[in-house]
Structure 1
Amino acid sequence: MATSRLWLVARYEYLKAVRRRTFLLMTLGLPVLIVGVMAIAIATTERAGAEGDVGYVDLAGIVSTPSPVAGLLPYPSDDGARSALEAGGIEGYYVIPEDYLVGGKVELFFLSRSPSDRMQQAFADFLSQQLVAGLSPEEQERVLGGPGQVVSQQLGKEAQSEPASVVRFLLPVAVGFLFVFAVMSSAGYLLQAVTDEKENRTIEVMATSLTARQLMVGKSLGLIGIALTQVLVWAVMAVAALVIAGNYFEPLRNLSVPWAFLGVTALFFIPAFVLEGGIMVAIGAAVADLRQGQQISGFLQFLFLLPVFFFALVLTNPDSVLLVLLTLFPPTSFFTIALRWGATAIPWWQVALAWALLVASAVAVLQVAPRVFRRGMLRYGQHMRLSGLLEAARSRG
């Protein structure tokens, strides 16, 4: 019976929140905005140059075989290529100078618009293949593929085998921002729900059939459901966007999934939401109205975002004592880990200890918040003083 009531509260809070226009705007508006920006970037890339045939003049004598790419045409002289350009037969042409192998620069000529990025990349790949034509297939693959995967290892730390790239650094940062944003927005719904019910005295009716713990846990479960909905929508949109963008942006094509980081995210998800959700419920019950609650909760939101102010330190010294302390401090633990993840090899003992402290804090909030909630929910138009909060937190009844 008690469990069914608890789920009724969770269902009510969830449905009430997801039907809000603000929820729909934040849940769907953010990914739509990101997709729109990416679409504009892709369209700009596609239309950045003129799509058409491109010629080349090899004065250095390094081209031994014709290009397999359709639209990449050889010309014997500069004059011939220029005539084709002026006649509209090609969109532009390259000239490989005689001294190219000793430092000469390749020149690109066009009339109004340069050739498309696709054709420019095709010529660059073709020229690279000609330069290594005398090597064995294995040597060609090694030279054209660059240095390959770089394994970075800090002494005393576990080796990282993933490529050290900008994309790899930014992905955990983006996940961290979305995680914190989901926590704060969902907790904001919960704070507003509690203060509204206290102001219109609905909570007094609910208190006749539910205990304070059932109310608080039910509301917290609703909060977790709200956040999960947001995260799942964002995750689906993000995966789709990365798959599409990978066809246009080279760094995204071979992007490896950071499974270890996603596992850490899953571990921190529920305790982080329980921690802030419980605090928000207690704040909502302790204050006189929503305005006062928002003022107090603003400080809590600041704590969750505190690692952002040390982003420069993350880039220069990700293993500093301050960042380690922020990693172990429950309100900032996950966000700090997300910022540091791509910049250094975080020792697993720090991640494990941070998670243990976060879980312990969430359990403590589950013990204390219902006591504050019980004392404050029936104080219509009144707020609890600090002494009252401390007394409620120490109470056992």
Structure 2
Amino acid sequence: MSHRTDLELVRIVASREVSGQLRSKSFWASVIVTAAMMCLSFALTGVLKGDGDDAPEVAVVGERTTIAAALRSEVTVEVYRDTGAARTAVREKAVDAAVLPGGEVLVLRALPADLGRTIRQAAQTAAHVEQLTRLGAGPGDTERALAPPVLRVGVLDAHAAEVQERTMTAGLGVFLLFVLMLISGLGIAQGVAEEKSSRIVEVLLAKVRPWHLLVGKIAGLGAAALVQILLMMTAALSAAIGFDALNAPLGAIGTAANLLLWFVPGYVLFVTLYAVAGALVSRQEDVNHVIGPVNMLQMLSLAGPALAVRGGPDDSALTVVSMVPGLSWAAMPMRMAVGAVPWWQIGLSFALMLLAIAGLVRIGGRVYRGGLLKYGGIVKVREALRGAVH
């Protein structure tokens, strides 16, 4: 066969897998449900964030302007002429609290602790100012007494909020991609086992070689997964930006794009393992027995995010994990989100991942070829390799 013919056969197999995924109701259901849940979470985050930024409103009754002036540096103050109007404002939730003559504080249900401290401090300040006035202090003295002290603030890490957002974006992305990879892997293994048990694979192998099937499945399912991920990420990031849930949206977008870049080779690696595992069984009921080791390896990839949150980018254990193929797809983007990583470590980690994929496709292709036409229970890897030689 010519090189062009090989590529055409791989394309046909890939197109078959892509069209099958895009016609699947479960494929679109997972996209819609996941995207809707993420959009809702960002909407709630934006609403809560907006609510937290609003200053409390306090009503002050009477001519006691000193307490109103003392409160204005912390809350929004509304002055009412009489107690009845202030009570109505509290009942109708126009204000959060009302300071009545005599020092009583009126609220609808309960006085929040922070607001209570603010009113107490304002009352103490007003009492001191009134005492200064009685002792003959001038307007300038009372104004200085009412003015809040100027705090000298030193910032140790001005970008801490941005780092936290990048870390949360990477961590959430890794978890979602992990679940997607797990579900896709199980579907791939079951699909291969179904084709083998129903003897469809024998018809396919009459037209194409085993490696055409393997590479075509990887390419087709990978393309479908990429479409799924892009749709979910686009919806989630659009919701996060639209509801103002992010302080640094460009950083979150860059982190998501970097995570997607590392996910592609990780997905190819695990898809290959799941497809090879599916070729080793003759019945779909046995799939769970052969994908156990692949699931365990995939579970280990979650060690990277845990280490990144615990120890930071320079943690020695995280550095090792971020260089190991199969684990680096999750560990390295998390490490890059937390802090700076030397460029040579990034390049070496990605190169090791590509080398691992090349070796796995070569060896896994032989196991896949040897296992497809062997029936009668679970085929051992050694038997599949021997069968591939003949």
The aligned residue for residue 237 of structure 2 is: 239
Deviation at 1:169, TM superposition (A): 2.0
For residues 48-127 of structure 1, the aligned pairs below 5 Å read 55-56=59-60, 59-60=66-67, 62=69, 73-75=78-80, 79=83, 82-85=86-89, 88=92, 90-93=94-97, 95=99, 109-112=106-109
Q: Which amino acid in 2 is paired with 1:379?
A: K
Q: Is the 8 A contact 2:59 2:98 kept in 1?
A: yes
Task: For residue 97 of structure 2, give the secondary structure of its aligned residue in structure 1.
Answer: strand
Provide Cα deviations, 1:116-135, integer angstroms capped at 9, x if missing partner.
xxxx9xx99xx9xxxxxx9x
Q: Is the 8 A contact 1:192 1:284 kept in 2?
A: yes
The aligned residue for residue 285 of structure 1 is: 279
Q: 1:320 aligns with which of 315, 323, 328?
A: 315
The aligned residue for residue 31 of structure 1 is: 35
The aligned residue for residue 348 of structure 2 is: 353
Q: Is the 8 A contact 2:58 2:95 kept in 1?
A: yes
Deviation at 1:87, TM superposition (A): 7.5
Q: 2:214 aligns with which of 192, 197, 216?
A: 216
Q: Which has the larger radius of gyration?
A: 2
Aligned partners of 1:90 and 1:321: how far apart in 2?
Answer: 55
Distance 1:392 1:363, change over 3 A: farther
Q: 1:150 aligns with which of 157, 180, 193?
A: 157
Q: Which amino acid in 1 is paired with 2:30?
A: M
Task: For residue 59 of structure 1, give the secondary structure of its aligned residue in structure 2.
Answer: helix
What is the aligned residue count?
349
Deviation at 1:392, TM superposition (A): 5.8
The aligned residue for residue 383 of structure 1 is: 378
Q: Is the 8 A contact 1:59 1:96 kept in 2?
A: no
Aligned partners of 1:383 and 1:173: how far apart in 2?
Answer: 37
Distance 1:298 1:107, change over 3 A: farther
Q: Which amino acid in 1 is paired with 2:269?
A: L
Q: Which amino acid in 1 is paired with 2:285?
A: R
Provide Cα deviations, 1:14-66, integer angstroms capped at 9, x if missing partner.
22223334323322222223334455666788999xxx975357534646999
Aligned partners of 1:89 and 1:5: how far apart in 2?
Answer: 70
Aligned partners of 2:105 and 2:352: how far apart in 1?
Answer: 60
In structure 2, runs of 5+ residues without a counterpart are 123-142, 144-149
Distance 1:83 1:225, change over 3 A: closer
Aligned partners of 2:27 and 2:177: how far apart in 1?
Answer: 15
Q: Is the 8 A contact 2:35 2:236 kept in 1?
A: yes
Aligned partners of 1:87 and 1:267: how far apart in 2?
Answer: 55
Q: Does 1:200 align with 2:231?
A: no
The aligned residue for residue 187 of structure 1 is: 185
Distance 1:349 1:87, change over 3 A: closer
Q: Is the 8 A contact 1:85 1:110 kept in 2?
A: no
Deviation at 1:317, TM superposition (A): 2.2
Provide Cα deviations, 1:237-259, integer angstroms capped at 9, x if missing partner.
1122202331xx5xx24444246
The aligned residue for residue 265 of structure 2 is: 271
Q: Which amino acid in 1 is paired with 2:344?
A: W
Deviation at 1:333, TM superposition (A): 0.7
Q: Is the 8 A contact 1:175 1:338 kept in 2?
A: no
Q: Which amino acid in 1 is paired with 2:20?
A: K
Q: Is the 8 A contact 2:166 2:255 kept in 1?
A: no
The aligned residue for residue 257 of structure 1 is: 251
TM-score, length-scaled by structure 2: 0.73
Distance 1:2 1:19, change over 3 A: same
Deviation at 1:81, TM superposition (A): 6.7
Q: 1:9 aligns with which of 13, 31, 34?
A: 13
Give the number of the structure whose residues are more often helix, by fraction. 2
Task: For residue 328 of structure 1, give the secondary structure of its aligned residue in structure 2.
Answer: coil
TM-score, length-scaled by structure 1: 0.72
The aligned residue for residue 332 of structure 1 is: 327
The aligned residue for residue 358 of structure 2 is: 363
Distance 1:335 1:255, change over 3 A: same
Distance 1:162 1:315, change over 3 A: closer
Deviation at 1:227, TM superposition (A): 1.0
Distance 1:240 1:17, change over 3 A: same
Deviation at 1:86, TM superposition (A): 6.2
In structure 1, runs of 5+ residues without a counterpart are 98-105, 128-133, 135-141, 152-160
